Amino acid sequence: MGVLPVPAEVRAILLDIEGTTTPIAFVQETLFPYIKNNVKEYLRAHWEEEECQRDVGLLRKQAQEDSSLDGAVPIPLESGSGEEELERVIQAVVDNVHWQMSLDRKTTALKQLQGHMWRAAYATGHVKGEIFEDVVPAIRKWREAGMKVYIYSSGSIEAQKLLFGYSTEGDILELFDGHFDTKIGPKVESESYRRIAASIGCATNNILFLTDVPREANAAEEADTHVAVVIRPGNAGLTDDEKSYYSLISSFTELLLPSSA
């Protein structure tokens, strides 16, 4: 891999998170298990709060929509008849969350509860966002050279800001000029990259996108965005064709900016 010169027209670097700035294992072995292991305790502690009740209401509505699916878990309404019934409802919510997560579902209801749980976990120090050690020094150099740096992740903007705001490197949110999630469009569709360029105020070929996912790299390329595929420990392997086709880096330090060329 070695050194990868960045094209002279690039003005902004767009970063994926999982497998690019952050180990895939952090999401799979820390964030998601935290939800599974703590959802009951979280619901008990926050049940009377308006936000928690909104979350449960969304999950209940989703459960009704899912009622015809195999293994779906209904969430009964509370009738206010005591502690035993409350525990039964909470357990139904827990079972529903576990069922959705076992199918790797991305429903708004599930993502909203997860987001609120992670916010509490980050704020209390139970979880810190993991960042590869080359990331922060490299981004500081890019910014000093006049580059804009943006995040584009499937995770919500709120979840992105929590990860970087409560990271192993401290609060590093000031390193980013903006955040994009799938509200701008799916990462495997080229139109999403055109929308991002328009939002940033530049042409698509003024952007370099770093990702570990070839399908995302392909979509960005179709929009005339520059791409490099990031090889990190734990990432999915690439085919020989992908290895020979894409520019590859294993560390952000391998990017050589035009000003330093």
SS (H, E, C) 167-222: ECCECCHHHCCEEECHHHCCCCCHHHHHHHHHHHCCCHHHEEEEECCHHHHHHHHH
- Which CATH number characterizes residue 73's domain? 1.10.720.60
- Residue 151, strand partner residues: 15, 179
- What are the tens digits of pLDDT across the range 13-51? 999 999 999 999 998 899 999 999 999 999 999 999 999
Specify the range with the lowest mean pLDDT, choosing from 127-131, 134-138, 153-157, 234-238: 153-157
State whether 197 and 148 are in the same domain. yes
State whether 82 and 206 are in the same domain. no
- Which CATH number characterizes residue 156's domain? 3.40.50.1000
Can you give the residue range of the structural domain that contains 84?
28-124
This prediction's pTM: 0.86
State whether 134 and 182 are in the same domain. yes
Residue type, 36: K
State whether 155 and 240 are in the same domain. yes
State whether 37 and 90 are in the same domain. yes
State whether 9 and 65 are in the same domain. no
State whether 220 and 143 are in the same domain. yes
Please check whether residue 261 lies inside any domain of the structure. Answer: no
State whether 154 and 99 are in the same domain. no
Cα-Cα-Cα-Cα torsion 184, 225, 251, 172, nearest 10 degrees, comes to -40
